[in-house]
């Protein structure tokens, strides 16, 4: 048995990450949590119209894994739509196709997915300081009450 592929490559984070049906009081509102990689699966297959094989390659996962992601995503979205539930898009096991970093001196650089998975950066390539932080794409900050770094590591183990 090979190691499980934990990280799914995601090239786009939805700008809007919360959908709420009209006319339902918060107290009665049920929520469905759509993982970021599930949203990406829907985006590639249903929005971009790509073949499953292509989508799987794009996300760096097997075709059967992609198929499961897609089924799960569609089921959650359908359930939310037809049963009047809210959808929150967050979390999961994914890494951005390109991740931008910034060091304390203000240098910024980009790290490709393959590098993030094999050897994430520990130093700034210009000034060699270890004080570096990832810059999250737009749409990942949620109003100020979302924890920064929330999306970075979806699982704890």
3-state secondary structure of 11: coil
Give yes or no for residue 107 binding Zn ion (CB under 5 A).
yes
Residue nearest to Zn ion (CB): 124
**How many whole angstroms separate alpha carbon 33 and alpha carbon 22?**
18
In the complex, the smallest distance separating the C-beta of residue 51 from Zn ion, rounded to whole angstroms, is 42
CA distance 138 to 38: 18
As measured in angstroms, the least distance from the Cβ of 121 to Zn ion is: 11
Measured between alpha carbons, how far is residue 130 from residues 66, 98, 103, 112, 125 in Å?
A: 36, 20, 8, 19, 10
User: Closer to Zn ion at the Cβ: 130 or 139?
Assistant: 130
With respect to Zn ion, which residue has the nearer C-beta, 6 or 127? 127
Site string for Zn ion, 115-134 (x = CB under 5 A): ---------x-xx-------
- 21, 84 Cβ separation under 8 angstroms: yes
User: For binding to Zn ion (CB under 5 A), which residues are involved?
Assistant: 103, 105, 107, 124, 126-127
């Amino acid at each position: 048995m090979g190691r499980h592929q934990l990280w799914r490559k995601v090239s786009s984070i939805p700008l809007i990450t919360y959908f709420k049906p009209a006319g339902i009081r918060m107290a009665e509102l049920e929520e469905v949590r759509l993982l970021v990689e599930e949203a990406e699966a829907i985006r590639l297959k249903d929005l971009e119209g790509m073949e499953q094989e292509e989508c799987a390659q794009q996300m760096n996962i097997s075709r059967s894994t992609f198929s499961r992601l897609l089924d799960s995503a569609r089921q959650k979205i359908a359930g939310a739509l037809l049963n009047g539930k809210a959808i929150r898009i967050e979390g999961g096991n994914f890494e951005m196709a390109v991740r931008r970093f910034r060091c304390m001196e203000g240098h910024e650089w980009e790290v490709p997915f393959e590098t993030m998975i094999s050897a994430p950066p520990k130093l700034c390539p210009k000034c060699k300081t270890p004080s570096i932080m990832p810059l999250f794409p737009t749409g990942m900050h949620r109003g100020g009450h979302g924890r920064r770094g929330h999306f970075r590591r979806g699982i704890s183990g």
